[in-house]
Amino acid sequence: MRRYGVLKLRAKTSVHLLTATGFAALAYDSFDSTNSFLNGVVRSSRALFAITSCVVDYKYSLHGLPDGSNEYGLSLSEIHLRSARRILKLCDANRGFYVKAGQFIAAMRRVPKEYSSTLTSLQDQAVPCNFKAIKEVIVNSLGKDLSEIFLSFNEQPVAAASIAQVHHAILRDGQEVAVKVQYPGLEYQMKFDLATMAFLSRAVSWLFPEYRFEWMVSEFTKSIASELDFIQEAKNSERAANNFKKNRMVRIPRVYWDMTNNQVLTMQFCKGQKVDDLEFFNRTGISSLEVAKALVDVFAEMIFVHGFLHGDPHPGNILVSQEGPNGFSLVILDHGIYKQLSEDFRKNYCHLWEALIILDSQKIQQLGKTFGVGKYARYFPVIFTGRTINSKSVLRRGMSPEEKKHLKEELKSIKAEDISSFMEALPPDFFTVLRTDGLLRSLISTLGAPQRIRLLSYAKCALRGLSPEATSGSVSAVLLMSRFKTRIKYIQLRLLLEVMEFIAYMNDIKRSLTMKFGKFILSAGDQIRSLCLLFVSAS
């Protein structure tokens, strides 16, 4: 009875909250004011109205529908789409950090597909800031007029995002540079918007405990705070460049420190086209498959070997230049969001992929406890390799029809509360890896490359990350034997991986030959029948 009273109170509260925020949003939308506080209230009211609408829609549209039923599944998909459209409308209206939050959600790939597909459009939506305001930021930050620093400065930005825009300029010594300038007034706006998002996530959790989003807001807050620090971005850029100094396929723009501070970042200007520009590849003869392979290899090395990961690899941050050893190279931009993976996590994540390669279910479950996800570790093979934990298929083969059917039935029992529990349990490092993995999957699909190139690159880099060469430091007598054993295990796993790939390759050849032989037999049979008919007609 008491539980019924609590639920009733929460239901009434949510309806009152929805009504109040609706009137607030409509009232404030009638104002056109530049006042920062009033603008913050308007933005917060819109957010409150949109999120409350979504939660109420979920709670009451699904009421009474049996979990796992076809009707429940269809209704849930429709609610996902309605809610995604509400959030898209909110991001379009509020701009700034809300666009960034929408991009963050879309990139996760662990959210329902209705959200990722709807919010993906935010990646290309950015309205440039007035150049007068941009010029003022540069002059105030660098302490000099533009003419004292630059020979020329293009007032039209070459790229614009939700928190900054980039201009092409030429220094007085003739060097081409890209000048990234932060929009004015962002710090105050960030505090207001993030406070609103934190409040909304707590309110939703109180009203409806099965819908918990604090983990998402927490990760977004960390991400956006680091992205606003241009000094840290410059340091990240230099560290990443040092990590890939021997890799001629990777180019990272050089930083001009004498023209860089918290609000202005000046870098070497690197030419190139977006990594998903298929028309450019067709025109220049660059293989999109080779681009996909190079892209995955770079980020796999970041994850498994360096433990220093670029957290925002969307198309605008990765360019393809026509200069390089194989006719192209990758230019990695925007180093604001990086994650330093802990050494324990990096090694455990390598071990996880080691277990995923050979499908060691016991090891996977054990690592699940280490990562804090417990029983949900059984879904690691599904998330990363497209196989179930009891699968017998080769690494790149995916699931059999029987496995798909069984998994579909199993997933019907998964509720929103289970997903929230899983995401809350993940360590921050794991969350970053999942997000980057989702972005890479999307890019690979866009480039028309098979997902197996990602699986094989991850597997090989995971094994490399476990090899003695991946660790640094002095070698003592105690460590010598340990490294020797690790080396032997590394060689065994590499051989196993190569054998698995060779078997898959031979199976492909076998199927191809079977098909060709079958066609040959059919063709030969047709010719024999034709000869027989000719012989009969002649006689």
The residues near 370 (Cβ < 8 Å, ≥ 6 apart) are: 348
Q: Which residues are catalytic?
A: 312
Of the residues 434, 466, 498, which one is the last residue of a structural domain?
466
More confident residue, 457 or 107: 457
498 & 372 share domain: no
Residue 61 in any domain: the answer is yes
Residue 144 in any domain: the answer is no
Residue 34 confidence (pLDDT)? 45
According to DSSP, the residues that pair with 170 across neighbouring strands are 152, 176
pLDDT of 10 > 50? The answer is no
Residue 504 confidence (pLDDT)? 57
Q: How confident is the model at residue 349 (pLDDT cuts 50, 70, 90)?
A: very high
Residue 517 in any domain: the answer is yes
525 & 449 share domain: no
- SS3 call for 71: helix
Residue 27 confidence (pLDDT)? 39
Of the residues 151, 185, 206, which one is the last residue of a structural domain?
206
Rounded distance between C-alpha atoms, residue 448 and residue 455, angstroms:
15
C-beta separation of 125 from 99 below 8 A: yes
pLDDT of 473 > 60? The answer is no
Q: Give the pLDDT mean for 460-471.
A: 76
Q: How confident is the model at residue 59 (pLDDT cuts 50, 70, 90)?
A: confident
Axis-axis angle for helices 70-94, 96-108 (nearest 10): 150
7 & 116 share domain: yes
Long-range contacts (CB closer than 8 Å, 24 or more residues apart) made by 237-244: 237/267, 237/335, 239/308, 240/302, 240/308, 240/310, 240/332, 240/335, 240/338, 243/301, 243/302, 243/306, 243/308, 244/298, 244/301
Rounded distance between C-alpha atoms, residue 68 and residue 409, angstroms:
8
384 & 485 share domain: no
C-beta separation of 443 from 235 below 8 A: no
More confident residue, 230 or 416: 230
Question: How many domains, the chain?
Answer: 3
Q: Give the pLDDT mean for 394-417.
A: 68
**What digits encode the pLDDT tens for the residues 274-293?**
999 999 999 999 999 999 99
449 & 490 share domain: no
Residue 391 in any domain: the answer is yes
Q: Give the pLDDT mean for 12-24.
A: 42
2 & 120 share domain: yes
Residue 337 in any domain: the answer is no
Residue 402 confidence (pLDDT)? 74
Lowest mean pLDDT among 221-235, 241-255, 335-349: 221-235
C-beta separation of 158 from 139 below 8 A: no
Q: How confident is the model at residue 361 (pLDDT cuts 50, 70, 90)?
A: confident
According to the per-residue pLDDT averaged within each range, which of 27-41, 73-87, 398-412, 414-428 is highest?
73-87
More confident residue, 501 or 62: 62
351 & 486 share domain: no
350 & 454 share domain: yes
Lowest mean pLDDT among 121-130, 357-366, 509-518: 509-518
Residue 113 in any domain: the answer is yes
Residue 28 confidence (pLDDT)? 38
485 & 435 share domain: no
pLDDT of 160 > 80? The answer is yes
Could you tell me the residue range of the domain that residue 524 belongs to? Answer: 477-538
Mean pLDDT score of the chain, rounded to an integer? 79
Nearest to 311 by CA among 409, 398, 249, 232: 232
61 & 20 share domain: yes
C-beta separation of 62 from 79 below 8 A: yes
441 & 526 share domain: no
Residue 293 in any domain: the answer is no
Of the residues 155, 176, 206, which one is the last residue of a structural domain?
206
Residue 253 in any domain: the answer is no
Rounded distance between C-alpha atoms, residue 15 and residue 62, angstroms:
16
381 & 445 share domain: yes
- SS3 call for 403: helix
More confident residue, 490 or 84: 84
More confident residue, 156 or 432: 156
Residue 112 confidence (pLDDT)? 79
